Amino acid sequence: MTQEEALSILKTGANVFLTGEPGSGKSHTIRMYADYLRSHGVEPAITASTGIASTHINGLTIHSWSGIGIKTNLTEQDLDRISSSEYISKRVRKAKVLIIDEISMLSPDTLLMVDAVIREVKQNREPFGGLQVIFVGDFFQLPPITKKNFEEYNQDIFSEKGKGVFAFESSSWKRANPVVCYLSEQHRQEDKVFLDLLSSIRKNVLKDTHKKILERRKISLENISQNTPKLFSHNVDVDTVNNDELQKIDGENEVFNMTSMGNEILVSILKKGCLSPEKLCLKVGASVMFTKNNQKEGYMNGTLGTVDSFSAFTHNPIIKLRNGNLIEIEKADWNIEDDGKVKARITQLPLRLAWAITVHKSQGMSLDEAVMDLGKVFEFGQGYVALSRVRTLSGLYLLGLNDKSLKVHPDVLTQDVLFREASIEARSAFKSMPESELKIIQKNFLLSCGGTVEVVENSLKSKKEKISTNSVTLSLWKEGKSLKEIAKARKLKVRTIFDHIEHLFEKNEISREEIMRLCDPKLKKALPRINKIFEKIGKEKLTPVFEKLEGDFSYDDLRIARMLF
């Protein structure tokens, strides 16, 4: 099934299980659906099974959203307490669409509890209180955390009390009866040989030829490039490698501390799930990995680079990507939002040291290359998750490998066949439906959610807000305050204030003479030289100018020079 076909089914309001192999576009499809709903006045409840996954989608964990917290079972008293909580009940009653990402890591009992809370709050006996519920994920990925280990599977203790291990074994899943949308496109792996190998692991039909391919990817420790990220099963191995490599670099650590605001419990959830550490130590030459998506700035979660320098103006690190591009990185926000309001926020550079990372934290990333030790895997799917992080076979390097690392859960293998068959049937059924009938169903679902058929227009509001915030900055600027002073007064980033200044300059509300306030003696002296470069190669893009000057001036310096050109 294509992303477009799945999106069309989602728009009907049907319960859906959106699945597919890594790189098939599950997250992209959900983002498109969420954008569609918002454009029609419907705000979806976006949640995930883990803190790490929730930070990727700017949502809550399903445990926090539903109010069940860390509970493993619910009593009648628990259910009464949660449903009588004004904060929880208001959120649940308002919800019309519930998205649960990384469903593979949610246990059947947890799904059952979420279902019970929603039905109790909404006083509706239908599955999940009549909400459209969308399960997103891939059961070949990491399973729910249990005390049972790999070796114990043969003792049949995964079926303890007949409850099962996976969310699809929950009675709540079965009552919801989701339409299966199994995405078949591939947007991560472009290597057909590697894609065939991963598919063979997934279907448990790995051949000797596949194993030989993997054997050829083995490499000894001394032949590993220092800046190639390494995936390990255990945290202790990751911390040791990162700390050791950083200490090998001469110079003092440049320390960047995480800041936070909002509800303490929610802040702790964000911190636990954020891939960027609370205290990030960097040096020029350090290998780093981006921990957030920002296509506008030119990086994605998993993009690799090296610390090239630190801006003299903002002290932000300037990262050199593998393609040679240089990007100055400022701190980013991870939020927990509810009803359009930020309930908690952490702020840190979207970076982490990248000499090593755990397989668990790599889930959801796309890497150009990685070294991995799969000789110590301790659960089904761990090896498959690690291998599927890289885009091509040429980017894969193995330190260790054993038979366990190539195994996936046998129950998932059986269920996956059923999922694929169900997806084929769903695709056929919806394709046979007249387009006019499908549009009516989609329209009626929007109206039943309190949305509008017409697209909600927010551009005028955004424009007014932007004008207003620029005016406040202008007022403080006219008082003679520096960028840092304005940023502190407005509780905004220096970069944001700089953007305001550029906008105000373009509108002729700030003069060229006033911009000279930002120009230090070194930059002032170099202006004629920089202007000549602007004349020769243009001023639209700063990277060529930055490279021409061999890093003598920061990007912010060049932005100032561009205004003075």
Per-residue pLDDT of 54-74, as tens digits, reads 455 556 778 878 888 766 677
Whether residue 496 contacts residue 487, with contact meaning beta carbons closer than 8 Å, is answered with yes
In the chain, % of residues over pLDDT 90? 23
Cα distances from 208 to residues 140, 176, 406, 409, in angstroms, run 22, 41, 12, 20
335 and 257 in one domain? yes
Cα distances from 445 to residues 40, 46, 264, in angstroms, run 11, 18, 37
Cα distances from 98 to residues 72, 80, 173, 526, in angstroms, run 21, 21, 14, 56
167 and 276 in one domain? no
Per-residue pLDDT of 453-483, as tens digits, reads 888 765 434 444 444 577 788 888 888 888 8
Which CATH number characterizes residue 31's domain? Answer: 3.40.50.300
In a domain? residue 103: yes
264 and 126 in one domain? no
Please state, in angstroms and rounded to a whole number, the distance separating the CA atoms of residues 194 and 394: 9
In a domain? residue 454: no
Please state, in angstroms and rounded to a whole number, the distance separating the CA atoms of residues 347 and 261: 9
Sign of the torsion formed by the C-alpha atoms of 38, 43, 48 and 52: positive
Answer yes or no: is pLDDT of 4 > 70.
Answer: yes
Structure tokens at 299: 């990086």
Exposed e or buried b per residue across 281-301, where buried means at least 16 C-beta atoms within 10 angstroms of its C-beta: bbbebbbbbbbbbeeeeebeb
415 and 380 in one domain? no
239 and 209 in one domain? yes
Structure tokens at 276: 């960027």
267 and 237 in one domain? yes
Q: Which helix (H) or strand (E) holds 126?
A: none
Domain membership of residue 255 as a residue range: 205-406
Per-residue pLDDT of 517-541, as tens digits, reads 888 888 888 888 888 888 888 776 6
Please state, in angstroms and rounded to a whole number, the distance separating the CA atoms of residues 506 and 500: 10
Question: Comparing C-alpha atoms, which of 344, 343, 362 is closest to residue 354?
Answer: 362
239 and 179 in one domain? no
126 and 269 in one domain? no
Q: What pLDDT sits at residue 159?
A: 33
Whether residue 257 contacts residue 277, with contact meaning beta carbons closer than 8 Å, is answered with no
Sheet holding 356-358, edge to edge: 356-358, 230-232, 370-374, 396-401
In a domain? residue 197: no
287 and 227 in one domain? yes
Structure tokens at 332: 């980013």
Confidence of residue 149 (pLDDT cuts 50, 70, 90): very low
Please state, in angstroms and rounded to a whole number, the distance separating the CA atoms of residues 322 and 309: 15
Exposed e or buried b per residue across 65-82, where buried means at least 16 C-beta atoms within 10 angstroms of its C-beta: bbbbeeeeebeeebbeeb
Answer yes or no: is pLDDT of 243 > 70.
Answer: yes
417 and 478 in one domain? no
For 237-285, give the secondary structure using H, E and C: HHHHHHHHHHHCCCCCCEEEECEEEECHHHHHHHHHHCCCCCEEEECCC
Answer yes or no: is pLDDT of 51 > 60.
Answer: no
Confidence of residue 176 (pLDDT cuts 50, 70, 90): very high
Answer yes or no: is pLDDT of 337 > 70.
Answer: no
Per-residue pLDDT of 388-446, as tens digits, reads 888 888 888 888 887 777 888 888 889 999 999 999 999 999 999 999 999 999 999 99
| Residue with more model confidence, 387 or 70 | 387
Answer yes or no: is pLDDT of 143 > 70.
Answer: no
Answer yes or no: is pLDDT of 317 > 80.
Answer: yes
In the chain, % of residues over pLDDT 70? 88
Residues in Cβ contact with 14 at an 8 Å cutoff, skipping those fewer than 6 apart: 132, 178, 179
Whether residue 307 contacts residue 288, with contact meaning beta carbons closer than 8 Å, is answered with yes
In a domain? residue 116: yes
In a domain? residue 479: yes
Whether residue 518 contacts residue 560, with contact meaning beta carbons closer than 8 Å, is answered with yes
Number of structural domains (the chain) is 3
Answer yes or no: is pLDDT of 233 > 70.
Answer: yes
| Residue with more model confidence, 496 or 127 | 127
Please state, in angstroms and rounded to a whole number, the distance separating the CA atoms of residues 117 and 109: 12
167 and 58 in one domain? yes
Domain C-terminal end among 372, 391, 406: 406
Q: What is the mean predicted confidence (pLDDT) over 42-49? A: 87
Q: What pLDDT sits at residue 160?
A: 35
Please state, in angstroms and rounded to a whole number, the distance separating the CA atoms of residues 31 and 37: 10
92 and 172 in one domain? yes
Which CATH number characterizes residue 558's domain? Answer: 1.10.10
Whether residue 546 contacts residue 558, with contact meaning beta carbons closer than 8 Å, is answered with yes
Structure tokens at 225: 């490039």
Task: Give the DSSP letter of residue 178.
Answer: P
In a domain? residue 456: no
In a domain? residue 263: yes
Q: What pLDDT sits at residue 265?
A: 82
Answer yes or no: is pLDDT of 205 > 70.
Answer: yes
Per-residue pLDDT of 247-289, as tens digits, reads 999 888 899 999 998 888 888 878 877 888 899 999 999 988 8
In a domain? residue 248: yes
Q: Which residues pair with 398 in a beta bridge?
A: 218, 372
- State the DSSP string of 315-326: --EEEEETTS-E
